[in-house]
Amino acid sequence: MTESMPKVQTVPRLLVVGSYNASLTVFSDELPSRGQTVLGDQLDIGPGGKGNNQAIAARRLGVDVAFVVKLGRDAFGETARELFAREGLPLGLILEGEKGTGVALIMVDASGDNLISVAPEANAELELADVVRLSTMFEGASHLLCQLECTVELFRNVSQWARERGMTTVLNPAPAVPLGDDTYRLIDLLTPNETELKILTGRDIDTDEAAIAASHELIERGVGSVVLTRGARGVMHVTAGGTQQYDAYYVNARDTTGAGDAFNGGLLAALTEGTSMESAIDLGMRAAAFCVTRAGVIGGLATRAQLDAELPSRYV
C-alpha cells in the first residue's frame, strides 16, 4: 500500500482473535469437478486466513487493531510477521505454535467463483490462555471479532471472557459448522453468508422470507442480531424487531475470495468508531465490492481514500 497507515494507539478499539493462513491460489477458466484436473493460467502465493484478512481490512480503514494469532516456525510464519509490521499490527501479539503455519488452497474460475480448503495447523492451537496473557496490550477494546478457522471452543471461551470486560462480541461463522445454544448466547452480532446460514440452521435459504425466518431462529436461540451477506443481492440486517435490506454496490467481479473478510473488516471498522449500523453495513459493502474487483485478497483490501475515489458512499 502506498498510503501511510495511522499510528497504532496504546489501546486498540478492535480485538481480532483468529487465523493466519498462507494462501496458494490457482486461477483457471473453470473449477474442477470431483476427480477432474483442470489447467490453470496463474498461481498466486500470499498471505491469507480470515482473521488476518479481517484485521488488515479494518486496519487499512484507519482503525487501531489488535490481532492475536498463532504461527508456525517456518517461512510462511516469517512472511506473516513481515506483513504485520508493514500494516501496523502489533507484533507483540504473535504467538508460535508447535505445528506449522496454516495453509489455504484456493481455486478461482473466470467468473470469480472459488473453492477453498484449509489446513488450520497452528491456528488450532490458539487458546484463551494465550489471549489472556496478552490482554494488557488491548485492555479497553470495544469489540471482539472471531471466525471459525480456529476452534469453536476458542470462540466460546474468548467471547465469554470479552463479554465480562464489556466488549461487543462478533462472530463471522466461517467455515460454518452447527453450533449450540451455549455458543449462540455469546454472540452479539453474527455475520454469515447464505451458505453459512443454511449450515447453521439446516434451512434452505432460497427466498427473502426463508432468510429472515432462519435468522430469527438464531436470534431466538440467543444471537443478538444477524447481518446476512448475500453477494450481488446485498445485505440483510435482521433483529428481533424487524429487518432492513441494503442493495449491493454494482461492480464487475474478478475474484470473490475475500469479499466476506473485506465486509467484516469494514463493518467492524465503522462499528468501533461508534457509527450507526446502517453506515457500518454501507462501509462493509463498499469494502467488499472493491475487494472483488482485484485478484487476491490482500491487494483488494482498501483504504478509505481508495473507497472514496472508486466507490463513494450512497449515504453521504
Q: Give all strands of the β-sheet with 14-17 in edge-to-edge order.
A: 94-96, 65-71, 14-17, 143-146, 168-171, 189-190, 225-229, 235-239, 242-246
SS3 content of the chain, % helix, strand, coil (to 5): 40, 20, 40
Integer Cα distance of 50 and 236 in angstroms: 21
- The angle formed by the CA atoms of residues 106, 110 and 116, to the nearest 5 degrees, is 15
CA 202 to chain centre: 22
Integer Cα distance of 259 and 278 in angstroms: 19
Which among 50, 273, 260, 13 is positioned nearest to 143, based on CA atoms? 13
In the annotation, is 261 catalytic? yes
CA 51 to chain centre: 6
- The angle formed by the CA atoms of residues 160, 273 and 218, to the nearest 5 degrees, is 40
Cβ count near 210 (within 10 Å): 16
Q: Out of 113, 261, 282, 308, pick the active-site residue.
A: 261
* DSSP assigned state of 193: B
Residue 24 β-bridge partners: 45, 105
How many helical (H) and strand (E) elements, i.e. helices and strands, does the chain have? Answer: 10, 13
Residue 28 β-bridge partners: 40
Backbone angles phi, psi at 285, to 5 degrees: -65, -40
Catalytic residues: 261
